[in-house]
Amino acid sequence: MASSFQALLHAPLRTRTPIRTHTPPFPASSRSPSSWFPPNNHYSFRANIPTAHDPKKVNIFKSKSSTSANMATENRPRVFDSEEALSISLAEYTADLSEIFVKQKGSFTVVVSGGSLIKSLRKLTEAPYIDSVNWSKWHMFWVDERVVPKDHPDSNYLLAFDQFLSKVPIPSENVHAINDTLSAEAAADDYEARIVHLVDNGIINTSETTRIPKFDLMLLGMGPDGHVASLFPGHPLLKEKTKWVTFIKESPKPPPERITFTFPVINSSANIALVVAGAGKAHPVHVALGNGQEAEVLPVQMVAPEGQLAWFLDKDAASKL
């Protein structure tokens, strides 16, 4: 792995071809998630999709599965009996959005976090999605990155490469990783400049109201302390209003140096999926979606996109709701 990764890193950009690995398809019957809804939440599942007829957004959700279609009309988080079922539904949700955005704007801009979210994307790398998704139109970004080399075990890029990017044929020039040769501050400025360039080229949309980049889909995890991206509870970066990408040098979770999207960019998104599994995260989920209490507003509570927010929870994460 290390040598193929190194070879890929050092190959000229245009010759980097993702390794395509097929795994056995899961049975068709397992595509219908077994899910239930807690009674006390108010969150919408409609996806935010631009149409050719209406340059503004329309709030519709199209799904091949009647289960998902029904859920799309519910103002409730999706809660699954297992992380496996969550992963199956997340793949269908992402593939549906990909199909619609590619049809209507010719590209699909996807932002990922690091952490456990990446593992939950695994069903997208399998049949039927490995063959049905138009991977050539995907543009991948990171909501946050640790300031370490790309082959370091703490790298969010390496995690995504090992578990996702190496298994799907996204063109290497569409993989917009953070520059790992720069300082935290310079890497943040560099990433923001590259986003400006992609906005100018029409790859990334902007909000009609704020002109802030509007990614088609952000796939976000959440830490047990309620942090999202590298935006931690009580940190002054929660209040950043001007920068699109910024840096932190004293992250409470190691490694200390990171760069991160700010809330104005996160909340400009057309669609955000918050993907949370495990009992260790039940408390911040309870605070965000139920009547759990915290002395201060948790970062996850500040996720409020211009478009649509969809929560994907396993039953352990939802156990306090």
Ligand X SMILES: O=C1O[C@H](COP(=O)(O)O)[C@@H](O)[C@H](O)[C@H]1O
> Which residues of this chain interact with ligand X, rule CB under 6 A?
113-117, 144, 156, 221, 223, 229-230, 253
Give me the least distance between CB of 187 and ligand X, in Å please. 14
CB of 256 to ligand X, least distance (A): 11
Omega of the bond prior to 77 within 30 degrees of 0, cis?
no
- Nearer to ligand X among residue 38 and residue 223 (C-beta): 223
Closest distance to ligand X from the beta carbon of 143 (Å): 6
Q: What is the amino acid identity at position 213? A: P
Task: Name which of 130 and 285 has its Cβ closer to ligand X.
Answer: 285
Question: What are the residues facing 261 on neighbouring strands?
Answer: 245
Phi, psi of 129 (to 5 degrees): -70, -30
Shortest distance in whole angstroms from residue 17 CB to ligand X: 27
The CB-of-51 to ligand X minimum distance in angstroms stands at 31
CB 181 within 8 A of CB 262: no
Rounded Cα distance between 55 and 50, Å, is 6
Q: Is the omega angle on the peptide bond into residue 255 within 30 degrees of 0, that is, cis?
A: yes
| C-beta of 188 vs 229, nearer to ligand X | 229
DSSP 15-54: G--------PPPPGGGGS--EE--SS-------EEE-SS-
- Which residue lies nearest ligand X, judged by its C-beta? 115
| Min separation Cβ 15 and ligand X, Å | 29
Query: With respect to ligand X, which residue has the nearer C-beta, 8 or 266?
Result: 266
**Euclidean distance between CA atoms 243 and 236, whole angstroms:** 13
If the CB atoms of residues 190 and 225 are measured against ligand X, the closer one turns out to be 225
How many H helices and E strands in the chain? 8, 14
Q: Which is nearer to ligand X, 223 or 233 (CB)?
A: 223
Tokens 């044929």 found at: 169
DSSP state for residue 5 in the 8-state scheme:
H
